[in-house]
A = this chain, B = another copy of it.
Amino acid sequence: MNPEYVRHKPGTRVTATMVAKHAGVSVATVSLVVNDKFRGRVSPANVAKVRESIAELGYVVDRVASSLSKGSSDLIILIAPDISNPYFAGVIAGIKEVLADRYQLLLSVTDGGELPRAQEIKASLEFRPSALLIFAPNESFVLDVRGHAPMVLIDAPGMEHVAPTINIGIDSSAHLLRNHLMELGHRSFGYLDSVTGSRTFTLRREALMGELIASGGREPSPTDVQSVVEVDAACQAFLTAWPQWDAEGVTCVICATDIQAYGVIKGARELGLRIPEDLSVASFDNLSYSSISSPALTSVELPSIDLGRAAATHALALIEGDEVAVTHQVFAGELYVRESTGRPSR
């Protein structure tokens, strides 16, 4: 009961026909004006009249009808598994930078910890997007969807044969981290994985643990420790796993993401463990918070903005129909050594 509100009045919508009538021209003329295609096609007088009428009536183009007519919406859809990870902010920033005003970016966010499902992708396809950017898919369902719209995969190692892919240099990152940890003298490693078994995460684990074990390290049980990408969930997972890990001599815990590493730090604090004296912690992402956490976190940078930029650039090329020479790009990250890793004291 707030009479002062201007409530939504269905049926009140202003159409091009109404504008045309108001301006004394035809719909075609209105269309030309709103689409900025009137040069040399519409008289200045009519352009002015149409613009006045648009302003006066408060007309906005119906993009739905427009898209139907044109056969495609100027929409690029990003399907991402878990926007709660601040890592995405960087990716999104990179994408938006490239798209500018040419395309609207639509985010289709799956639920926490879930992978993009076929359903999500189908639903996105319904919008007739100009292109699809899919983050960290792991299933072959992407195959079903090919051919419907230009598609670029982001952080999808092992799927380069399916569609153009922008990847993170997991192997080189893992290598950097391994060198660092082995040099410090660690030999027994716990690993906190992400629950979204997407390929990028299994690969982070495999690449790193593979290297560590090949160098003489070992991974004690439990080996299936995982959580969603949230501080508290990761903390819980760590607290549950720690007694066994501790018994088996773990001196270093590596996490799939920085956020989870924060959870481990939190858990370690609760247990009274000193970092890095009693336990070293390292992870992937290098979020900007990692330099001010307590202790500051040793982390491998995964260049988010670059990923976004490259994916968007690639998508634009596909839309334009250009033959794209490079269909697989990899961005390598750097290792940032901070306070959370040190020599094991035992």
A-side residues, CB < 8 A to B, are: 1-2, 4-9, 12-13, 58, 60-68, 73, 83-84, 86, 89-90, 92-93, 96, 104-109, 111-112, 122-123, 125-128, 144, 146-151, 161-164, 230-232, 259, 262, 265-266, 269, 288-289, 291-296, 318, 323, 325, 327
Contact = CB atoms under 8 A, between A and B. Distances in A.
A111 B125 contact: no
Contacts of A104: 108, 123
A21 to B, nearest CB: 20
B294 A266 contact: no
B288 A269 contact: no
Do most interface residues of chain A lie in helix, strand or loop, or is the interface mixed? loop
Contacts of A109: 92, 96, 105, 107
A4 B161 contact: yes
A291 B73 CA distance: 44
Contact of A232 (B61, B73, B288, B294): B288
Contacts of A259: 289
Interface centre among A86, A96, A111 (most CB of B within 10 A): A86
Contacts of A294: 292-296
A188 B58 CA distance: 50
A128 B64 contact: yes
